[in-house]
């Protein structure tokens, strides 16, 4: 494999938890991101999936430097960007851009679409000389499938899907190499989601982009991802190529998420085992000992409360080449059985 474009290792973001108004005293920490590792190759799409509150947005914000990691490294082309400052940092930031979740609130309602898309040029004037900006913005509108004549319109004059196209055009303005898309279609109608995903797919080959594509639902990232990482309570619990995750999930959390994905084929729907996840994601201020998923896991045993399972290829699959041979952070990843018989719905 060639050197990855982006290499994240041991990434942590802990927010201090304080008590008192005048004499603020730290009483704990919100472990929003608690040890995340992954790589992103050139031209690749890595999907990141997990329930709300698992730390996905916090990872995204650290990648685009909106948050500083508490600990860990983010290497871009081999260089640790968390140590950069000044001009070097600016150059890296130009190459890693973000597309935000909510096209209704992420666009300034008082700015024209042209100003919104062209705003990054204020910080990076070298990318588009002033006299050429209008034309470049019109090009970007065209590229995302919007009429270039709409350049003077305001966000409220567009539909949700069109607004997300505007958000994507802004993300492309600086010609980045990496786009971090934080739930870019979650706020959109189902019918519009596919259009925006298809657009992003096309733009990826057109502009040779690498994507970190975040979603809370495994069905959304399926079509666009080459690999998928499943996040739970601040950590990646399973990661692998598409087929490995969808056809051979070995972590109970992934199995549960997959069981909630709608299947178009009614027979497949009948055959599959339904796993109902009970309870909510525990608070990141109070992460369970051992395996952090154990409090909601039907496979959990004594050992799970004591030993933290490493994210690694299970020993039994280490020499195999099949779809089971991918990293999973479960003590029982080698077991075939998905749901205990007594909990199966007949």
CB-nearer residue toward ligand ADP: 54 or 117: 54
Q: Does 103 bind ligand ADP (CB under 6 A)?
A: no
Q: Identify the residue among 19, 52, 289, 301 touching ligand ADP (CB under 6 A).
A: 52
Identify any residues that bridge with 48 across adjacent strands, giving them in sequence order.
214, 229
Q: Does 184 bind ligand ADP (CB under 6 A)?
A: no
105 binds, among ligand ADP, Mg ion, none (CB under 5 to 8 A by kind): none
Which one of the spans 50-58, 221-229, 252-260, 327-335 is the region binding ligand ADP (CB under 6 A)? 50-58
Q: Does 282 bind ligand ADP (CB under 6 A)?
A: no
CB-nearer residue toward ligand ADP: 17 or 111: 17
Q: Which residue intervals of the chain are DSSP H helices?
A: 56-63, 86-95, 113-118, 120-123, 133-143, 160-172, 190-207, 218-222, 242-247, 252-259, 266-271, 302-306
254 binds, among Mg ion, ligand ADP, none (CB under 5 to 8 A by kind): none
Dihedral in degrees, nearest 10, Cα atoms 176, 74, 98, 138: -10
Tell the residue number behind the tokens 């304080």, with chain if given: 18
DSSP letter (8 states) at residue 78:
T
Q: Identify the residue among 6, 46, 54, 258 touching ligand ADP (CB under 6 A).
A: 54
CB hemisphere CA count around 115 (13 angstroms) = 10
Q: Identify the residue among 34, 40, 46, 55 touching ligand ADP (CB under 6 A).
A: 55
217-229 burial, b if ≥16 CB within 10 A, otherwise e? bbbbbbebbebbb
CB-nearer residue toward ligand ADP: 54 or 230: 54
- Could you tell me the smallest distance in angstroms from the CB atom of residue 217 to ligand ADP? 12
159 binds, among ligand ADP, Mg ion, none (CB under 5 to 8 A by kind): none
- Could you tell me the smallest distance in angstroms from the CB atom of residue 273 to ligand ADP? 26
What SS3 class is residue 135? helix
Q: Identify the residue among 72, 114, 284, 327 touching ligand ADP (CB under 6 A).
A: 284
CA distances from 140 to 20, 118, 169, 179, 261 (A): 49, 10, 6, 15, 34
- Could you tell me the smallest distance in angstroms from the CB atom of residue 186 to ligand ADP? 10
What SS3 class is residue 293? coil
284 binds, among Mg ion, ligand ADP, none (CB under 5 to 8 A by kind): ligand ADP
- Could you tell me the smallest distance in angstroms from the CB atom of residue 214 to Mg ion? 7
Task: Find the helix or strand (DSSP H, E) in which 212 lies.
Answer: strand 210-215
Tell the residue number behind the tokens 């739930």, with chain if given: 183
- Could you tell me the smallest distance in angstroms from the CB atom of residue 171 to ligand ADP? 18
The binding track of 9-38 with respect to ligand ADP, each residue x by CB under 6 A or -, is: ------x--------------x-x------
Q: Does 56 bind ligand ADP (CB under 6 A)?
A: yes
Question: How is residue 30 written in tokens?
Answer: 């919100």
Bridge pairing between strands 71-76 and 6-19: antiparallel
Q: Does 225 bind ligand ADP (CB under 6 A)?
A: no
Sign of the CA dihedral with 158 first, then 163, 168, and 172 last? positive
Q: Which residues bind to Mg ion, rule: CB under 5 A?
A: 56-57
- Contact call for residues 175 and 139 (beta carbons, < 8 A): no
CB-nearer residue toward ligand ADP: 49 or 144: 49
CB-nearer residue toward ligand ADP: 18 or 301: 18
Q: Which residues bind ligand ADP (CB under 6 A)?
A: 15, 30, 32, 50, 52-58, 284
């Amino acid at each position: 494999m060639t050197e990855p474009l982006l290499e994240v290792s041991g990434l942590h973001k802990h927010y201090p938890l304080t008590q008192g108004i005048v004499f603020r005293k730290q009483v704990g920490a919100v472990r929003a991101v608690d040890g995340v590792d992954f790589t992103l190759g050139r031209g690749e799409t890595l999907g990141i999936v997990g329930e709300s509150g698992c730390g996905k947005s916090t990872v995204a914000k650290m990648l685009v430097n909106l948050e500083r990691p508490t600990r860990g490294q983010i290497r871009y082309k081999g260089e640790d960007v968390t140590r950069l400052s000044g001009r070097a940092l600016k150059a890296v930031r130009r190459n890693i851009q973000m597309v935000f979740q909510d096209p209704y609130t992420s666009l300034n309602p008082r700015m024209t679409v042209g100003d919104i898309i062209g705003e990054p040029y204020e910080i990076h004037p070298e990318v588009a000389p002033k006299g050429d900006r209008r034309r470049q913005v019109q090009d970007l509108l065209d590229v995302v499938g919007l009429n270039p004549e709409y350049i003077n319109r305001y966000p409220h004059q567009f539909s949700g899907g069109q607004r997300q196209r505007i958000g994507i055009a802004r993300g492309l303005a600086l010609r980045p190499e990496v786009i971090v898309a934080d739930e870019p279609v979650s706020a959109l109608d189902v019918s519009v989601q596919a259009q925006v995903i298809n657009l992003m797919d096309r733009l990826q080959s057109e502009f040779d982009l690498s994507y970190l594509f975040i979603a809370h639902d495994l069905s959304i990232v399926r079509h666009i991802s080459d690999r998928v990482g499943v996040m739970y309570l601040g950590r990646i619990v399973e990661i692998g190529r598409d087929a490995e995750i969808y056809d051979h999930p070995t972590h109970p959390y992934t199995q549960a998420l997959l069981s909630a994905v709608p299947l178009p084929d009614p027979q497949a729907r009948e055959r599959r085992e339904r796993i109902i996840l009970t309870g909510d994601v525990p608070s990141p201020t109070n992460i369970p000992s051992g395996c952090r998923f154990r409090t909601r896991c039907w496979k959990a045993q004594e050992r799970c409360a004591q030993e933290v399972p490493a994210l690694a290829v299970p020993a039994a699959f280490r020499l195999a080449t099949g779809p089971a041979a991918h990293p999973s952070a479960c003590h029982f990843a080698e077991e075939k059985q998905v749901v205990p018989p007594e909990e199966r719905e007949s």
